[in-house]
Amino acid sequence: MIVIDTSAMVEFLVGDDERAERVRGAAESEGSLATPHGIDLECASSLRGLVRGGKLAQGKADYALEVLQQLAITRYEHTWYLARIWELRANMWPYDAAYVALAEALAVPLLTVDCKFERTPGAHCEIVTVKAASPQPGK
């Protein structure tokens, strides 16, 4: 099992590059996905921004939301780890802290493409950050 955050889930759903493939591979290799319930709204918000910014076609966003609803993801109510989310308030927004707190509670890694988790003190879980590929010299 692995906890997947919104940044990684959006890559999983609509990414079309090598990083997105690595996110899909990392997620699938763990067997099962876990996430706070809020991921559905956060993904909808991210997809909305991509559509409004002209970076994603409306039809692809619609399809991504359908796929998200069908994925076998265990969604966890946040109330039982809210105290830990609050403890992390000095270093992260509650939305981000929810993913860290859930990964800690389940004793599993957190999958993300957001490098800020690596730089944020206080997390007591493994952070698996899938970074963008380094540009090739001369390209």
Distance CA 54, CA 58 (A): 9
Region 53-79 average pLDDT: 97
pTM of the model: 0.91
Rg for the chain (alpha carbons), in Å? 15
Is there a domain that residue 13 lies in?
yes
Check pLDDT > 70 for residue 127: yes
Which residue has 């707190």 as its token pair?
101
Which residue has 């950050």 as its token pair?
129
Q: Write out 78-114 in H/E/C secondary structure.
A: HHHHHHHHHHCCCCCCHHHHHHHHHHHHHCCCEEECC
Is there a domain that residue 138 lies in?
no
Is there a domain that residue 95 lies in?
yes
Which residue has 């890559």 as its token pair?
11
62 is in an annotated binding site: no
Query: What's the structural domain count of the chain?
Result: 1
40 is in an annotated binding site: no
Is there a domain that residue 118 lies in?
yes
CATH number for the domain spanning 104: value is: 3.40.50.1010
Q: Is 13 helix (H, G, I), strand (E, B) or coil?
A: helix
Is there a domain that residue 136 lies in?
no
- On whether the CB atoms of residues 133 and 18 are closer than 8 A, the answer is yes
pLDDT confidence tier of residue 67, bands split at 50, 70 and 90: very high
**In this predicted model, what pLDDT tens digit does every residue of 92-108 receive, in sequence order?**
999 999 999 999 999 99
Is there a domain that residue 84 lies in?
yes
**In this predicted model, what pLDDT tens digit does every residue of 5-17 receive, in sequence order?**
999 999 999 999 9
Domain span at residue 69? 2-129
